[in-house]
């Protein structure tokens, strides 16, 4: 067939079906196993071997190294994994992604799985309407699996044939006969294709079909697979853009690992290819034979080659049947060889690189500097972003981490208010008041961004426990924002005191200090409870007792204030500002208790 616009769109559509199948299959598996993923990572230790195995099994489970690495970047972003641990997990994920290559090789060429794809969809669709989330997830997986192989089948049939595109084939051959230059060129092409479609598995499928059609040799195909290892780094790099500095470092570590691995493989490329060919010949067959077979058949009998590619060859003829069998075997040898290349490369890469994990951490820490980190954290969320949603449980964990930081920010605000209260230098007073204003604006944005993030999480299928956690967190961020508002109101009242040239008496200053101490204790207790998994009755009682002390002290000071004003100890204008500070502190106590009681109502509060 001549390759025009329609054929190009058909080829792109085939890749699209394949990618959509990968996405559905991966997401279905993630949802089915989502609640277990955190438990798997909870078993992680600083042991590098355990980290590699964890990355391997998670990637095999969800059938996407990009999803795994994005998830790992998310875990680092959420503070669940250290940078060193993430390096080992990413190494394991690189080996795990070869499982997809093996599935494509075995089912794509040994078994005509495309014939079963439509029945699989028929079996999967009813599961989507099940009331049980796990059944829906498995339905998505089955449909995704079917689409993946439908896409591969369409890709196989939409790839241009040599007979009708001999001119293009001749041009291509010029670029495949430049020795090591061809290897570098096609490694670059493989990298670019993977960066565009963001799936090394899709690139592998595309390369496999090109190789099986005789467009490129096994050597060139392996170079493209090697390049795809670098191209696949683009997904976690994009995901890390809106993450914190540790997420950026984890993504950079992934890129560094794959680039350094590709460098040694390119240096030893031809001996390495000979090793892979020897392994393939020993276990299956020679992957280099297909290219010569297709090229010779295209020269001697191109019509037969077209019929072989279209599966229309008359198999009643024994010679044709033998030829078709030979062609199928040679295609399998190529797919086996490419899968073996992908696997052995990543295994050797891990064996070399795993001993230098600490060096990796050091290098990426230097490459991604912490310069200006403080300014970044002043104005952006640290743990969550719209681009880093993976599983619902992880998203809720990230939101919990962000809420902890949110509460710590209000603690700093209250500390700033105390400093402002005692500041006598006018210039410094203005600076400190402006800083509190800035914190108040940031607090407002944080509430909106965390609430928006949780709203996105709630759009997915959630367990009842996850729904309760989201509701609890929404109540908590509303109360924490009220705490920030109260801190700002205190700052404004203190500003009003200074504008009015009001100088508090020693007794008033002492009383305000005592009230600040009580509020700070309650706020510290609240922040501590946000960081633990289970809230006890005694924890709630302790906070409520502090709030009762604040209320009683407020009542005592209000009564004493009336007496002091009547006795002429200080003017009424001073008493108004004084009481505004005390009443605002009492409101702070109420908001703090509301947060703690929300935690208690959730029974089991997970970070």
pLDDT at 386: 45
Residue 276 shares a structural domain with residue 296: yes
Residue 351 shares a structural domain with residue 440: no
Distance CA 148, CA 517 (A): 63
296, pLDDT greater than 90? no
222 falls within a domain: yes
Residue 212 shares a structural domain with residue 282: yes
Could you say which of 319, 348, 367 is where a domain stops?
367
Q: What does the pLDDT average to over 468-472?
A: 87
Distance CA 351, CA 349 (A): 6
Residue 361 shares a structural domain with residue 382: no
Count of structural domains, the chain: 2
Tokens 């969550």 sit at which residue?
384
Model confidence at 374, pLDDT cuts 50, 70, 90, reads: very low
Distance CA 248, CA 444 (A): 26
Average pLDDT, the chain: 81
Residue 353 shares a structural domain with residue 395: no
372 falls within a domain: no
pLDDT at 44: 54
Q: What does the pLDDT average to over 458-484?
A: 85
Which range of 72-86, 314-328, 359-373, 585-599 scores highest in mean pLDDT? It is 585-599
606 falls within a domain: no
Collapse the DSSP code of 603 into the 3-class scheme (helix H, G, I; strand E, B; otherwise coil) and give the result.
coil
Residue 478 shares a structural domain with residue 435: yes
Model confidence at 33, pLDDT cuts 50, 70, 90, reads: low
Model confidence at 476, pLDDT cuts 50, 70, 90, reads: very high
Residue 389 shares a structural domain with residue 479: yes
Residue 276 shares a structural domain with residue 332: yes
475, pLDDT greater than 80? yes
Residue 406 shares a structural domain with residue 285: no
pLDDT at 168: 57
Query: Which 8-state DSSP code applies to residue 371?
Result: T
409 falls within a domain: yes
Provide the residue range defining the domain that includes 289: 5-367
Q: Which long-range contacts (CB under 8 A, 24 or more apart) does 25-28 make?
A: 25/63, 25/140, 25/141, 25/144, 25/145, 25/147, 25/148, 26/62, 26/63, 26/64, 26/67, 26/144, 27/140, 27/144, 28/137, 28/138, 28/139, 28/140, 28/141, 28/142, 28/143, 28/144
288, pLDDT greater than 90? no
460 falls within a domain: yes
CATH number, domain of 398, equals 1.20.58.220
Q: Which of 32-36, 459-463, 545-549 has the lowest mean pLDDT?
A: 32-36
Q: How far apart, in Å, are the Cα atoms of 472 and each of 384, 455, 469, 540, 601?
A: 18, 13, 5, 16, 8
Residue 325 shares a structural domain with residue 418: no
pLDDT at 109: 58
Model confidence at 208, pLDDT cuts 50, 70, 90, reads: confident
- Calculate what percentage of the chain has a pLDDT beyond 90: 24
Q: Which residue has the higher pLDDT, 358 or 387?
A: 358
Could you say which of 327, 349, 367 is where a domain stops?
367
Length of the chain: 607
- Three-state SS for 63-122 is CCHHHHHHHHHHHHHCCCCCHHHHHHHHHHHHHHCHHHHHHHHHHHHHCCCHHHHHHHHH
User: Which tokens is 332 given?
Assistant: 């399998």
Model confidence at 102, pLDDT cuts 50, 70, 90, reads: confident
Task: Give me the phi and psi of 153, to 5 degrees please.
Answer: -65, -45
Residue 514 shares a structural domain with residue 460: yes
30, pLDDT greater than 50? yes
272, pLDDT greater than 70? yes
88 falls within a domain: yes
Looking from the CA of 379 toward its CB, the CA atoms found within 13 Å total 5
pLDDT tens, position by position, 490-512: 999 999 999 999 999 999 999 99
pTM score > 0.75 for this model?
no
Q: What does the pLDDT average to over 573-583?
A: 94
Could you say which of 325, 345, 367 is where a domain stops?
367
pLDDT tens, position by position, 339-354: 899 899 989 988 888 8
Tokens 């999480």 sit at which residue?
457
pLDDT at 114: 60
Q: Which of 25-29, 412-416, 448-452 has the lowest mean pLDDT?
A: 25-29
353 falls within a domain: yes
Residue 261 shares a structural domain with residue 394: no
387, pLDDT greater than 60? no
């Amino acid at each position: 067939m001549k390759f025009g616009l329609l054929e190009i769109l058909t080829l792109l559509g085939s890749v699209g079906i394949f990618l959509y199948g990968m996405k559905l299959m991966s997401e279905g598996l993630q949802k089915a196993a989502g609640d277990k993923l955190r438990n798997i990572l909870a078993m992680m230790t600083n042991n590098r071997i355990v980290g590699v195995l964890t990355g391997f099994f998670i990637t095999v489970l969800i059938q996407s190294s990009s999803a795994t690495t994005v998830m790992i970047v998310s875990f680092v972003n959420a503070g669940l994994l250290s940078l060193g641990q993430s390096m080992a997990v990413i190494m394991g994920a690189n080996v795990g992604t070869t499982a997809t290559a093996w599935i494509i090789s075995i089912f794509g060429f040994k078994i005509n799985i495309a014939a079963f794809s439509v029945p699989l969809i028929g079996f999967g669709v009813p599961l989507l309407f099940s009331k049980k989330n796990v059944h829906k997830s498995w339905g998505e997986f089955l449909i995704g699996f079917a689409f993946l192989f439908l896409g591969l089948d369409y890709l196989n049939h939409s790839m241009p044939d040599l007979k009708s595109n001999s001119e293009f084939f001749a041009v291509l051959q010029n670029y495949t006969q430049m020795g090591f230059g061809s290897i570098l060129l096609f490694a670059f092409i493989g990298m670019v294709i993977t960066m565009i479609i963001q799936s090394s598995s899709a690139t592998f499928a595309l390369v496999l079909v090109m190789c099986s059609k005789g467009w490129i040799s096994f050597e060139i195909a392996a170079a493209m697979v090697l390049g795809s290892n670098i191209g696949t780094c683009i997904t976690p790099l994009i995901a890390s853009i809106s993450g914190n500095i540790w997420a950026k470092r984890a993504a950079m570590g992934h890129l560094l690992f794959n680039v350094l691995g590709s460098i040694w493989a390119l240096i030893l490329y031809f001996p390495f290819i000979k090793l892979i060919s020897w392994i393939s010949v020993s276990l299956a067959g020679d992957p280099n034979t297909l290219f010569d077979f297709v090229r010779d058949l295209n020269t001697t009998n191109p019509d037969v080659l077209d019929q072989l590619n279209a599966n229309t060859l008359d198999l009643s003829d024994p010679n044709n049947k033998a030829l078709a069998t030979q062609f199928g075997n040679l295609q399998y040898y190529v797919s086996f060889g490419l899968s073996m290349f992908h696997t052995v490369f990543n295994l050797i890469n891990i064996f070399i690189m795993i001993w230098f994990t600490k060096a990796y951490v050091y290098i990426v820490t230097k490459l991604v500097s912490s310069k200006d980190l403080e300014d970044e954290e002043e104005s952006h969320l640290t743990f969550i972003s719209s681009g880093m949603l993976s599983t619902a449980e992880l998203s809720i964990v990230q939101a919990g981490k962000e809420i902890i930081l949110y509460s710590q920010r209000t603690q700093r605000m209250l500390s700033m208010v105390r400093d402002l209260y005692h500041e006598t230098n006018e210039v410094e007073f203005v600076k400190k008041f402006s800083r509190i204003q800035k914190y108040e604006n940031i607090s407002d944005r944080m509430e909106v961004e965390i609430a928006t993030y949780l709203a996105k999480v709630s759009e997915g299928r959630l367990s009842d426990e996850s729904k309760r956690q989201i509701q609890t967190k929404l109540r908590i961020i509303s109360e924490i924002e009220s705490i920030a508002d109260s801190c700002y109101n205190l700052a404004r009242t203190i500003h009003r005191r200074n504008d009015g040239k009001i100088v508090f008496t020693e007794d008033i200053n002492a009383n305000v200090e005592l009230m600040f101490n009580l509020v700070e204790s309650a706020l510290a207790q609240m922040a501590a409870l946000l960081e633990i998994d289970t809230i006890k009755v005694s924890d709630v009682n302790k906070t409520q007792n502090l709030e009762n002390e604040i209320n009683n002290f407020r009542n005592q000071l209000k009564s004493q204030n009336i007496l002091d004003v009547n006795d002429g100890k200080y003017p009424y204008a001073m008493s108004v500002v004084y009481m505004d500070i005390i009443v605002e502190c009492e409101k702070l106590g109420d908001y703090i208790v509301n947060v703690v009681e929300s935690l208690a109502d959730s029974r089991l509060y997970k970070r």
